[in-house]
Amino acid sequence: MKPNNKEKSRDKAKKASTWTGTKIVLVVVCVLFAVFMIVSSLGVSWLTSLKGTEPGDMATVAYTIYDDQNRPIVTSNVKIYNDTLAKGGTVFYSNPLQIPVNVTTMTNVTRIPVQYQQYQTYFGLFRDEMNLIATGLSGMKVNEQKRLSLVMPKDPLETQITSDQFALLVKPVNETRLNEQFALALTDHPQINLDNTTPVDQYLRTFYVKGISPEGLDMKYGYSTIDLQIISLKTQ
């Protein structure tokens, strides 16, 4: 009895299959070896990007700080800096920050080298702000982004200055509007430097006019949020 066409097809398919158990094992071994060679060439840096930060790690952080009017204040993002300047905003540019993860500082003010328009100067972050940032980096991975609150309810970072002081620092009060923003020099939190200069031991913060009254101007120099991204990490 002659085999039908279906049986012939099955016989051909069986004969065409040359994969044996030995060949399959050899292919698997070759693939695993190739993966091992690739991983070896990468070193251990790829492992750093997979695990979260641990206390004491040194994180290099790209960042932008915003006030409660959602205006960029200081940034390591060139586009944000240039766009804000083009709109007439007051903004500082800095390099990414290097911050030890979850390590608090006792330094009252951390002075950060920044560019402000055509000037090279310093921007000041207060101790509580730096500690909020350092703590907020805990558990983050390389390239991960996060937004942290910088609001401190116990110290909203507001001050009042007289109309005469404001005129000396900036301009007459009758030429000032609510929410208008200024960069002022500080010597030590929260004292405003009436000379409005920045020698070596001083730094700048942005202030904005929160209120105007016969007694003077209410000025706020606290910030709302910071956008963070860890761009590199040095583990302990």
Question: Following DSSP, what letter does each residue of 38-82 receive, concatenated?
Answer: HHHHHTTHHHHHHSPP-TT-EEEEEEEEE-TT--EEEES-HHHHH
* Whole-angstrom distance, CA of residue 166 vs CA of residue 176: 10
pLDDT at 1: 47
Secondary structure class of 198 (helix, strand, coil) = coil
CA distance 118 to 102: 34
Indicate if the pLDDT at residue 39 is higher than 50. no
Residue 179 pLDDT level (bands cut at 50, 70, 90): very high
Tell me the pTM. 0.76
d(CA 204, CA 201): 11
Mean pLDDT in residue range 38-55: 60
Rounded to whole angstroms, the Cα distance separating 113 from 119 reads 11
Q: What is the pLDDT of residues 104-149, one digit of tens each?
A: 999 999 999 999 988 999 999 999 999 999 999 999 999 999 999 9
DSSP state of 231: E
What is the C-alpha separation between 81 and 228, in angstroms, rounded? 16
Q: Which domains does the chain have, with CATH numbers?
A: 51-234 (3.10.50)
Examine the pLDDT at 173 and tell me if it is beyond 70: yes
Q: Which of 117, 134, 137 minimizes the C-alpha distance to 126?
A: 134
